[in-house]
Amino acid sequence: MKQCILLAAILLVAACTRATPPTTVSADYRNPSLPVESRVGALLSRMTLTEKIGQMTQVEKNSIRSEDITELFIGSLLSGAGGYPLPNKAEAWAEMVNGFQERALKTRLGIPLIYGVDAVHGHTNVYGATVFPHNIGLGATRDPDLVERIGRATAVEMIATGIFWNFAPVVAVPQDIRWGRTYEAYSENIELVSTLGAAYIRGLQNTSPQVAATAKHFIGDGGTTWGTSKQNIFRPFMLDQGDTQMDEATLRALFLPPYKAAVDADTLSIMVSFSSWNGTKMHSQKYLLTDVLKGELRFKGFVVSDWQAIDQIPDDYHNDIVTSINAGLDMIMVPYDYHTFITEATRAVEAGEIPMGRIDDAVRRILTVKFRLGLFEHPFADPEALAAVGSDDHRSLARDAVRKSLVLLKNENQALPIAKNMPLIFVGGRAAHDVGIQCGGWTIEWQGKAGNITPGTTILDGIKQAVSADVRVEFNRFGNFDRLTDAQGQPLIGDVGIAVVGEEPYAEGVGDQQDLTLAEEDAALIDRMGAQSKTLIVIIISGRPLILTEHLSKIDGLVAAWLPGTEGGGVADALFGAYPFTGKLPYTWPRSMSQIPMLTEGVGAPLFPFGYGLDVER
Ligand code: BGC
């Protein structure tokens, strides 16, 4: 009986093989009128192992020897944060990426590269690009349509530079705001993250040509336990890349819904988290990557590793490659020593440690995305899109997002909106006049940087533009206005003081911060300006709630402005009543450090609950 079944099966396979239309094997994969699946099949059937492993290799652009793109059939390059060409101009980006692309198109099969970048709040490695509010601010807007439009605008700016793959959005659901990536996530609220993440993906991917999104970092990156990280870059990480310690039901309940929403929104790629789950690195978790993500969620795009992350699997490099690819990784962000990666991956396949079927699945997924993006038809930058980089239209969209992201936390005696004809306004604080600070991390540089790093409107600029011509606006970064005296030599008192306080830029684990108490200089700024102004408005520029309970009574108007990006004019729009305050807190605002992590049970009432935000009509 068994033999009969076996014979029948063999005959069936043979019949199917014969029945396969020859077009699947010999179809011209270059023909755009054929379905993507046939093009992928046709191309895959022509590829050697070397070409397949090349497709799975992603190299950081400063580490690649250009000739190797052709010689080793490299499938992908990336600019890590701060990986800009010189001069850092959109035109130079386009020239650089086009140059790499030409090398890829010279290969035997002419498979185009897919170039990736972290355009996490606009195409922000590019000088002059529009910088939108970081996701925490977008979480405050509660506006999926706005987020979708931001995704689309970001895609257009990317297309101008020949980059069709964005490592965004972060769809983490942070459980502890001490995490340095809190601001990259929309909210602590699972549903809000799911809705806004999906909206962003739709926006990015609905452009023509299309740009691929990356939901990241799968899974549990916002749920690590303090002190479990082993990384040390500039300073020890505490939460980032640490261990998420919880049972499967909790992991799924907290972190899976945004990925389900992302897959339903057709995200073309997903990046794996540096973190571990109960002590095992995510990059080696076959159950979660293959069974859950690709099986249960039916994710059809490709899975990419994080930066040099497979190296963190505790084994030698050869076995790290075997484990991670067998776990379900499709593309490896190597990103430096690609020669060793290619040699070892090839050796592993030849030795049967990685099955050929797994390699074919990975390459099929990568090629499907490349075909779906239309890279074979338009591999290069679109010069016509260059005018959109940092355009007025995009900046006005960003300004709208800034207005809607502001959360009014206190408004005593109707301090806000400020009348436009207040005779004397004092503006204090370094962050009041610093594009770099208001943009935060992931802007031009990985960690971001204070200063005039890219064109934009500071909050001070915005205030000056908003007030009537005869209003006197005085700025001092220390909030010290003693030198301003009246005819009798008495210090002037401002009708309104606007103190801008907050955090210096940071990114990833460098921003893991044990104490979120407002800095001493900022506390001093509040005191100084409170004494010199009739009404005190405080604006917080930060990537997360900061502890300021003891200062609250000194403040008349308090506004959380998050990391608004280049369009500081949006802050002034609401301050002076041209637009209403409508933002709602995307994170619970703790009363004291003892309440953090806030989401733990039994820590008492917060200073402001999730969803809080006063409405003030204009
Ligand atoms: C980050 C990712 C990012 C990658 C490439 C990593 O350090 O964790 O979010 O996409 O670098 O820049």
Give yes or no: residues 84 and 137 share one domain: yes
Decide: 219 and 210 in contact? Cβ < 8 Å: no
Name the closest-CA residue to atom 5, ligand 1.
80
Q: Supply the CATH number for residue 306's domain.
A: 3.20.20.300
Query: Has 377 been annotated as catalytic?
Result: no
Q: Do you find a cis peptide bond into 169, omega within 30 degrees of 0?
A: yes
Give yes or no: residues 171 and 320 share one domain: yes
Strand partners of residue 270: 215, 303
Residue 417 has pLDDT above 90, yes or no: yes
**Per-residue confidence (pLDDT) for residue 82, from 0 to 100:** 87
Give yes or no: residues 251 and 364 share one domain: yes
- Angle, helix 144-159 to helix 190-205, in steps of 10 degrees: 40
Q: How far is the CA of 307 from the centre of ligand 1 (A)?
A: 6
Indicate the SS3 state at residue 526: helix
Q: Which atom of ligand 1 is nearest to the CA of 79?
A: 12
Give yes or no: residues 481 and 557 share one domain: yes
Ligand 1, CB within 6 Å, residue ranges: 80-81, 118, 167, 216, 306-307, 508
Q: Which of 68, 157, 240, 306 is catalytic?
A: 306
**Per-residue confidence (pLDDT) for residue 602, from 0 to 100:** 75
How far apart are the C-alpha atoms of 541 and 518, rounded to whole Å?
Answer: 11
Q: Which of 143, 508, 522, 573 is catalytic?
A: 508
The amino acid at residue 355 is P
Radius of gyration of the chain measured on its C-alpha atoms: 26
Probe target for ligand 1 pocket from 306, 308, 331, 444, with the most ligand atoms within 8 Å of CB:
306
Q: Supply the CATH number for residue 545's domain.
A: 3.40.50.1700
Q: Which atom of ligand 1 is nearest to the CA of 217?
A: 9
Name the closest-CA residue to atom 7, ligand 1.
307
Q: Is residue 604 part of a domain?
A: no
Q: How far is the CA of 424 from the centre of ligand 1 (A)?
A: 45
The CA-to-CA distance between both ends of the chain, in Å, stands at 82
Q: Is residue 79 part of a domain?
A: yes
Q: How far is the CA of 101 from the centre of ligand 1 (A)?
A: 22
Decide: 416 and 616 in contact? Cβ < 8 Å: yes
Q: Is residue 475 part of a domain?
A: yes
Range 418-453 burial, b when 16+ CB lie within 10 A, else e:
beeebebbbbbbbbbbbbbbbbbbbbbbbbbbeeeb
How many domains does the chain fold into? Answer: 2
User: Which residues, including other chains, have CB under 8 Å from residue 543's CB and lie 6 or more apart?
Assistant: 134, 136, 180, 182, 183, 440, 441, 503, 506, 511, 562, 563
Q: How far is the CA of 391 from the centre of ligand 1 (A)?
A: 27
Give yes or no: residues 91 and 231 share one domain: yes
Q: How far is the CA of 438 from the centre of ligand 1 (A)?
A: 21
Alpha helix ranges (H) inside 64-189: 66-71, 90-105, 135-141, 144-159
Q: Average pLDDT of 356-361?
A: 98
Give yes or no: residues 490 and 559 share one domain: yes
Cα 483 from chain centre = 44
Q: How far is the CA of 271 from the centre of ligand 1 (A)?
A: 9
Q: How far is the CA of 446 from the centre of ligand 1 (A)?
A: 9
**Per-residue confidence (pLDDT) for residue 27, from 0 to 100:** 73
Indicate the SS3 state at residue 243: strand
Q: Is residue 397 part of a domain?
A: no
Name the closest-CA residue to atom 4, ligand 1.
307
Give yes or no: residues 515 and 371 share one domain: no
**Could you read off the pLDDT of 42-69 as tens digits, one per residue?**
999 999 999 999 999 999 999 999 999 9
Give yes or no: residues 468 and 426 share one domain: yes
Best CA proximity match to 222, nearest among 280, 279, 175, 189? 175
Other C-beta atoms closer than 10 Å to the C-beta of 253 total 12
Q: Is residue 607 part of a domain?
A: no
Question: Which residue range is the domain that position 25 belongs to?
Answer: 2-387
Count CA within 13 A, CB hemisphere, residue 489. Answer: 0
Q: Is residue 498 part of a domain?
A: yes
**Per-residue confidence (pLDDT) for residue 603, from 0 to 100:** 80
Probe target for ligand 1 pocket from 124, 135, 307, 510, with the most ligand atoms within 8 Å of CB:
307
Residue 112 per-residue DSSP state: P
Q: What predicted TM-score, i.e. pTM, was given to this entire model?
A: 0.94
Q: Average pLDDT of 161-189?
A: 98
Query: Has 306 been annotated as catalytic?
Result: yes
**Per-residue confidence (pLDDT) for residue 599, from 0 to 100:** 65
User: For residue 6, what pLDDT band results from cuts at 50, 70 and 90?
Assistant: very low
Q: Average pLDDT of 338-355?
A: 98
Reduced 3-state DSSP string for 252-280: HHHHCHHHHHHHHCCCCEEEECCCEECCE
Give yes or no: residues 292 and 323 share one domain: yes
How far apart are the C-alpha atoms of 95 and 77, rounded to whole Å?
Answer: 15
How far apart are the C-alpha atoms of 364 and 171, rounded to whole Å?
Answer: 25
Name the closest-CA residue to atom 8, ligand 1.
306
Name the closest-CA residue to atom 11, ligand 1.
307
**Per-residue confidence (pLDDT) for residue 41, from 0 to 100:** 97
Tokens for 399, please give them.
């300004």
Q: Which atom of ligand 1 is nearest to the CA of 216?
A: 9
Give yes or no: residues 440 and 563 share one domain: yes
Q: Is residue 615 part of a domain?
A: no
**Could you read off the pLDDT of 71-122 as tens digits, one per residue?**
999 999 999 998 999 999 999 999 999 999 999 999 999 999 999 999 999 9
Q: Is residue 371 part of a domain?
A: yes
**Residue linked to tokens 């998050």:** 562
Give yes or no: residues 479 and 348 share one domain: no
Give yes or no: residues 376 and 432 share one domain: no
Ramachandran sector of residue 502 (left: φ over 0; alpha: ψ -120 to 50; beta: rest): left
Alpha helix ranges (H) inside 500-618: 520-532, 569-575
Name the closest-CA residue to atom 2, ligand 1.
306
Name the closest-CA residue to atom 6, ligand 1.
307
Strand partners of residue 497: 426, 536
